[in-house]
Structures are given as structure tokens and as C-alpha cells.
Structure 1
């Protein structure tokens, strides 16, 4: 492994590699006006059942959820994240925020919310009816851990791999692998750069790809075989190879965390 990965409770400082390693600048990205993007930061669709709309409102207004700055939920649902991705500095600051949280605590919150989302009293009907925003939320909650790990990878210069990928205008396919954990297949013509960022990111995804509860279980093998065709037959594992203790799964016996219960109680009885 060539890249560095943050621990779940590590806190970046002004002297962290991501703050100093790059000379890329953006005059518009001043510290004073930067706000960490949030999931679903545009108007939600009106195509929700009432219980599901209430669930989303409770989730998105909960400070414990928001303090996790979930990268997996920002990728497909955040307009401000999309805007931040246009600036190397802004997306780096976003990643510093998402990677400085206690990931194990946040994982418990995301797992609990994923279970609660599909309950009859919340969004079960909307999920069954393939409501796009409900499916995005569910997949994003499930994919929190693999995308936390992948988004916090750095290159040998200390720069975030995702920041490099999303701002690389000469290799526009570099960001595609980050959508695999959300259940989005890599386009057939995509050719991400064959570098250590891609190799180490796919190694993370391989460890989750064999877990049938994870959306990436449907996308990893095809992407890996595609990458190996042009990066070499040993560049990544062609099939998912989960490691013991690596991939977390949502099981029916998992009890929602106290954080979730408090969140719902505060919302419904305020």
C-alpha cells in the first residue's frame, strides 16, 4: 500500500499535508466563506409519503448526523459538494472535514439510519416504489465506511486522491470509481489513471465487494475486470475478496443506536 489513510478520530491541523503539499490556489476559496457541504442541500422532491418526508426532515436536521459530514451521501445529493469539487482547495477542505470525524461512531449512526429508513413507519413504501432520493439516501448510508476509507486516501505528496481525481480535467474518468460503492457501475469507456490512488482505492472496495449488503457487491467485479484490461492483470483483484473484520454489514438483528432514537423523539415530540 502506497497511500496514507486517516484514523477515524484523527484531527487535521493547519500543518497537515493536505494543507501544504499542493501549490494549487483558488482566490475565491477563502477560509472565511467556506462551509462544509451537506447532503440533500437543495429542495427535496414532493414525491414522498408523509412518514418518509418526516424521516428525511428529522435525519437532515440532526446535528449528530450532520457532524459526520458523510462523503458517501454528498457524492450524489449535494449541490454544494458539486460546487466545491470545482475547486481544489474547497474540495480538500471538504475532505479534511469528512476525514476528521470519529468514523466508527458515525458508522453506527449511518447503519441505524439505514435500518430505520426501510421500516414501515418511515420510508418502506417509498423504497419499494424506487423513489430516487430514498434509494440514494439508503445506498449512501450503507456505503459510508468504504467511501470514508477511500475518500481519505492520500498520494505520496500528501494530497487527497479524490481531490486529485475530481479536479483532473485531463483524465475525467478518475472520479468514476468513487461511485462504485453507491451501486453505480463504471461506464464502459471509462479509463481511470492507473496510479496508486486507483490501486489502493480498489483494494478498499474489494474488501467490501463480497458483502451482499453493500451496493458495491453489484459493481466491483465488473469495474475490476475493466480496470485490469488496461492497467494490467495484477493491478487490482478481479473479484471481490472480503477480509475478515473489514466490511461492515447491515444485519436484521442490528439495533438502532440511541442517537437515532433521540433524533426521532426530538423531532416528533418537539
Structure 2
């Protein structure tokens, strides 16, 4: 009786009774899983980092874009804190209710060159933003829509009124321009503005600016470069630097630099300095005084321009060069400071997502090793 050889028995035991099958290499199978996981993680990582980079990039100035606007002949008028749209005939027939008289006691000795202390009484309400009849041409079936509602809402907000932003008065406030004719009234305006908490008001107005651009509020009008909406946006986002410049005082006279600029004809060119944060360039004919107020105001602007998303970063350099041509090469810094890192612009909503993805990535790498 013959028995199969040892080699034939081994082959029979390995193959079994069925047909032969190729052996699967465990290392190769594991390597394939590792590659698939890494590719999946990378495909999730790239869109997130691209979105963050796009969000962190400096926003372009809205005034550099051009758009064709349709002119609405109706006139929006602020009546008792609310905007109303009316025809020219209705506007002519409108009899405004005169506001109640308020009395303020103001020490104006700081705004004069005399050493004596005097007290002056100012009467009348404080200036308010958007109090003129501007051709707004807001979007909406009735010429107003949600944008005007939003504007009326924040104008009535006690928080907005407590901040009393100078940046929102510089453009589009008729009562503010009237107040600049009076030393007493403009001093009262600046004092009221400087009483606000700069930190909390900066946060509030930056958030308000984002709400302004929302499609639920004035997003459509912002895209159409509506004059009122653009002015509002500039004023909200430039609050911090104009608070600093507006509240700056000359240590020799204790006068507010802004008050001196708008009431003293010898330094009339200094008025243009306060338009720089609103994306308005210094006129070529303007020759600001080579004094403490000019120097310190430009220092405030230089520090603010480190945030390249601010409008002052667009207008600072040319203004500084123009001032130095009159006051000397090193009177003010003519270069922008180092830009804030882009990572500082990542929102608090994005940061946790990025952190969680990073942790997941490290965990998977440790698992597949």
C-alpha cells in the first residue's frame, strides 16, 4: 500500500478540498486603509483652511467699486426718531415739531488760549446721525424695506446712543455741521462722545457693522453702494481710531485737538485728518499744522492701520508723506506698521472647528502607525 508523499500531504492540507486561492497579504491590506484615511482627512482639511484664508484676507474698500444707482426723487426724513419717505410736495408741507430745549453747562476754558476759567451754557439737543433729507433710494417695494427699519432700530438703541460715536457724525449729519460753528456746542459733542466706554462700544459697533451687511438688513443696499449704508458702515468700523483722535487733548492748552481744528482758522487743514479713517484721502492742498495734535493723531492712525481691514490702512501712507513734506522727513512715520497676523482674524466660530480637526488628524495618525 502506497501513501502520498509528505509534500503532497502538506499541499492537500493547505488547499483543502476546494480550488486554490491566492493568499492575502495583511501588511498590504493595512497600508491601503492608512492611505484611504489620510486622503479623507486631507479632503476635509483643504476646504476649511481655504475658507479661513478667504475670511482672514483684508476686505477691499467698498468705495473702490462702481455701481449705477437709480435715483429715487422721494425724500427720507427723520421725524421723531423714525425715517419717513415722502414726496417733495409733502416735504414742503411738513412742519417739524421743534425739539425740547436742553441746557448743558460746559467749561470751555480748555478750548481757549487764556488762563482764566469761564463757564458757558449751551442749549439745544445734541447732533444725531442721518438727520438730513438724503436721497437714500433704499431697496424694497416701498423704497424703504428692511434696511430703513434696521437703521431706525439702531438709531433708537440706547446702547448706540450711549456710545454716541463721533465717527457716525462726521458724514451725513446736518446738525453736527451746525454745531461745529460754535465752540461751546462742539465741545459738548466731543465731551459726550468721550464719556463712552471705548472698548465695549468698539465691540458693539463692529458687530453692528456685520449686521448692517446682512441680507436680512442692508445687505442688498450695501452691495449697491447706497450712500447712507456705506457711510454707516464706515462710521461703525472706524469708531475706535476716531474715538482716540477725537478725544486727544493738547497738554499745553488742555483743549481737544478736534475742537481746535474746527474752530481755529489757523489750523483749518487739520480738519481733514479726521476723514482719513473714513477712507477719504488728504487733499493735496491741505497743510496740517506741524504740532502736537497732528503728530499724535497720526500715531493713533498708524497703530490702527496694523489691521489691514481698516480703511485707515488705505489712506495713511499718502497723508503721512504729505505731512512730512511740510513738517520734515521724520515728523510722522510714513510706513505702515507690521500687519496683524492673519490667524488673529479667525473667528471664534472657526477656531473650535480647526482645533477639533487637528486633534482628529493627530489621533488617526497615531492609530495607523
Higher normalized contact order (CA 8 Å, seq sep 6+, divided by chain length): 1
- Establish whether TM, by shorter chain, passes 0.5: yes
* Partner Cα distance (1:152, 1:175) in 2: 14
Query: By how many angstroms is 1:108 displaced?
Result: 1.6
Aligned runs of 1:221-232 on 2, under 5 Å?
Answer: 221-232=317-328
Name the residue aligned to 1:30. Answer: 121
Name the residue aligned to 1:219. Answer: 315
Q: Alignment partner of 1:30: what SS?
A: strand
* Partner Cα distance (1:252, 1:78) in 2: 35
Change (3 A) 1:180 1:131: same
* Partner Cα distance (2:220, 2:137) in 1: 11
Q: CA RMSD in A?
A: 2.5
Name the residue aligned to 1:43. Answer: 133
Name the residue aligned to 1:186. Answer: 282
* Partner Cα distance (1:104, 1:181) in 2: 18
Higher strand share: 2
Name the residue aligned to 2:268. Answer: 172
Name the residue aligned to 1:69. Answer: 164
Name the residue aligned to 2:211. Answer: 116
Question: Which residue of 20, 24, 46 corresponds with 2:109?
Answer: 20
* Residue pair 2:307, 2:339 contacting (<8 A) in 1 also: no
4+ residue segments displaced more than 4 Å: 242-245
Q: Over residues 118-172 of structure 1, what are the superposed CA-to-partner deviations in whole Å (9 max), with x where a residue is unaligned?
A: 1111111111111111111001000000000000001121000000001122332
Q: Over residues 174-232 of structure 1, what are the superposed CA-to-partner deviations in whole Å (9 max), with x where a residue is unaligned?
A: 10011000100111111011110000000000011231221111100110111111111
How many pairs were matched up? 233
Change (3 A) 1:124 1:149: same
Change (3 A) 1:252 1:86: farther
Name the residue aligned to 2:355. Answer: none
Name the residue aligned to 1:56. Answer: 151
Query: By how many angstroms is 1:242 displaced?
Result: 5.7
* Residue pair 1:110, 1:142 contacting (<8 A) in 2 also: yes
Question: Which residue of 153, 164, 175 corresponds with 2:248?
Answer: 153
Gaps of 5+ in 2: 1-103, 115-119, 140-144, 350-369
* Partner Cα distance (1:46, 1:143) in 2: 22
Change (3 A) 1:211 1:160: same
Change (3 A) 1:242 1:159: farther
* Partner Cα distance (1:48, 1:183) in 2: 23
Q: Larger C-alpha radius of gyration, 1 or 2?
A: 2
* Partner Cα distance (2:155, 2:167) in 1: 14
Q: Alignment partner of 1:67: what SS?
A: helix
* Partner Cα distance (1:57, 1:254) in 2: 29
* Partner Cα distance (2:347, 2:263) in 1: 41
Name the residue aligned to 2:347. Answer: 253
Change (3 A) 1:171 1:19: closer
Query: By how many angstroms is 1:20 displaced?
Result: 2.8
